Homo-oligomer: A and B are copies of this chain.
Amino acid sequence: MPHTVSYKNYEHHTGTRAQAMAPSKETAQALARAETICRAHGVRLTTIRRTVLEALYSSQKPLGAYELADLLASNARRMAPITVYRALDFLIEQGLAHRLASRNAYISTLHDDGSQEATAYLICDGCGTVEPASSAAFAGALSDLLSRADFEPRAKVLEVAGHCSRCQGHGHGRH
């Protein structure tokens, strides 16, 4: 088998990718929290999944699936899209990542305030950053809205695009 990458021990293999710079202390702590959550859920935070989560956590902007694939590529061999999507699906199921439907992009939720029922994501058109925002009043109002409509919620997509405090008034953004 000439061209095929050695198939065994891919856990170790993926561990040697370009991304393998030592994570910051904060990142390491966040990943440790993720590890704990996964153990509690009885699921496995494998190398691929951890690598994807770390990339999302470290990034200042949301990342697309193909962007992640490129980012996590080792020399000339990038991750297959489906691999990234599988990792993302896992992370989203475990509540560790979030899909921004309005951008087809993904972020880590390890920065979020986990105590709120409803988190809105504020996406800056200028600098691309995303800030989670929540309040009891907002969660309550939404909950009222839903119960008044007798609607049983499963997934909430709450996103606002605009300009963050730092990007207002000096021509940032695209319109």
Contact = CB atoms under 8 A, between A and B. Distances in A.
A163 B151 contact: yes
Contact of A145 (B133, B161, B163): B133
Interface residues of A, number: 38
A157 interface: yes
B165 A151 contact: yes
Contact of A163 (B154, B160, B168): B154
A52 to B, nearest CB: 21
Number of copies of this chain in the oligomer?
A: 2
Contacts of A124: 151
Contacts of A145: 120, 133-135, 138
B151 A162 contact: yes
A26 interface: no
B165 A149 contact: yes
A147 to B, nearest CB: 11
A1 interface: no
A122 interface: yes
Contacts of A149: 122, 131, 133, 164-165
